[in-house]
Amino acid sequence: MQWLCLPFSQLSTDQLYDLIKLRVDIFVVEQNCPYHELDNHDRKDGVHHLLGYKDDKLTAYLRLLPAGTTYDNVSLGRVAIAPSSRSLGLGHSLLQQALQQAELFWPGKTIDIGAQEHLQDYYRQYGFTAISETYLEDDIPHVDMRLTKSVQ
């Protein structure tokens, strides 16, 4: 697996196309959820795109957002694994890579996410805890979760 973590300005046109296609294929088509996928956060200062390529195909993706972009704290979003690569443990590799990158960019900072409700146990494995009641986002049950870094 080849991992790249790049700001918007350093994405090639092919990388940008790959990540948009993966996100639309999953979040709009597969989840049958018409919404504004291009939300203007992708190109904001401090946002990074984590891309995981296997055999030159984008199979894993998420974006890292600085505090104040979507939450008061640092956040992760648009977590996506290509359907053909699910059940291979790539979600764990992706999240581990993301947490390492977040620590490099924003050492010791709290991370908030809007997790699909059925993925709470997955995120709990990494120390995230629910901080909200379940709510609907685009007709999909979500819960806000937080990973608080211990100060040493």
Model confidence pLDDT, tens digit, residues 73-128: 999 999 999 988 888 889 999 999 999 999 999 999 999 999 999 999 999 999 99
- The fold adopted by the segment(s) 2-147 is Aminopeptidase (3.40.630)
**Cα torsion 28, 74, 90, 14: sign:** positive
Rounded mean pLDDT of 30-58?
88
pLDDT score for 151: 55
Locate the domains of the chain by residue range.
2-147
pTM, 2 dp: 0.91
Number of CB atoms found within 10 A of residue 51's CB? 23
- Whether the CB-CB separation of 62 and 94 falls below 8 Å is answered with yes
